[in-house]
Chains A and B, each alone.
Chain A
Amino acid sequence: MNIAIQNGRVIDPKNGVDRSTTLYIADGKVAGLGDAPAGFVAEQTIDATDCVVCPGLIDLGARLNSIEAELAAAVAGGVTSVVVPPDADPPLDEPELADRLVHRGTEIGKARVLPLGALTLGLQGERLAELAGLKKAGCVAFSQANRSVVDTEALLRAMEYAATFGFAIWLQPQDHWLSRNGIAHEGEVSSRLGLAGIPVAAETIAIGTVVQLVRDTGCRVHLTRLSSAAGVALVQRAQHEGLPVTFDIGVHHLLLTENDIGYFNPHARFSPPLRAQSDRQALSNAAAAGLAAICSDHTPVGADDKLLPFGEAKPGSTGLEVLLPLTLKWAEAAGVSLPDALARITSAPAEVLGLPSGQLGTGAAADICIFDPAAIWQLTPEALKSRGKNSPWLGYLLTGRVKTTLVGGRVVYQA
């Protein structure tokens, strides 16, 4: 289907495009900008007046508990590719499971599913899963989700093995022992409210371990959901050393701190925890400087598991449909331009994945998000397509709403 998207502000951060122009799609790919390609006849035109036309968002972390609802939620949020952690039930440690997941995603035909394979069997952190087989079945990298690998020897061997094949390992840096009893950031708020704390050391010790093993193995590692200033500083040092380490930041950690726990609000329980204002500031600076991609860490949790005393509530928040407005909210407060903000959720994640997506150059897959940057809407359970209605922003007004989403040149969402 030939599609022309007209009158929109086309922003393609990777290729430095930011202007009002027409975008042409043919055969599921971007066919050009501005002037119609030779012989192009539009079969469908989309009017993007007052809207931004950008690459479909790439979310580096989204749990798809009920896959249909969550993939619908993804495209409603302008997300065209989701990276899925391997910690579903059962964990994604067999090639057949990955196969099925990718196949199901294709069948549903909304956002693209990019699964992370389990690094170890059952995510137990002991025996390697069949990494090559999982890769063949569609896994983009390997991960322990947010579980720590306690056995450092096992981690070393896993990284050696992955390095052999050039596979990337995604790890959440959180030391098992220092975090196992904690439910909140070890700081002023946890002291005052009597909440067992997780010190920053839980993150920095884990980063230190991983960085040393990267040094020894050359394995490419992506650290997920950093939460502390000290953690960011350590990763930056490793990067300066030339080590193949990248990191991402959950969008909620850019906007919220331990203070948002308020009167024990279970919606403010995250893993890793929301930390102090100084940590938030460092994360924001890193994202502003383009040092990290931003993701949603989408975690749908039912009311029965969330409306519990703080320490019993499952951590995490719904994210796919708020990634865009929350990123825009952060960008405005941090003085980051719209193209740079969009880069953090399009081209930057694509770079982490080593994929050619996240951009609108000619020949790129036509994964496109058309959104109204000025549209104000209220976050209510009814407004969300996701089964996860859990959010600290419930009831708040958000700015920025997706109008149309295309994947491979097909409209998969229309507001």
Chain B
Amino acid sequence: MKVGVEYFVGLSAVLFGIGLYGIFIRRSPMIILLSVELVLNAANLALIAFSRYRDDASGQVFALVVMAVAASEVVVGLGLVVAMSRRRAELDVDRLINLRN
């Protein structure tokens, strides 16, 4: 039985929502990064689903691009987190405001 596209999109939306919740509510940078990953993957899921259902390859291509971006962003983010923890900085996003103004 073919699974309808709406199920995939629905799952994607749910994942997206969870990820968004994580970004807004959680304070630890690690968890926020995790949430961002969730959001990105949710988007990927939607892309691939549509690509499959419309027989258009560009969705999958775009998904690959998103994966590449996600990977680089994680590298940078984790690097920052590691650097912060090395300096014994509090891993609390509300306190990390050095970039003010």
Asked if A and B bind, the verdict is no
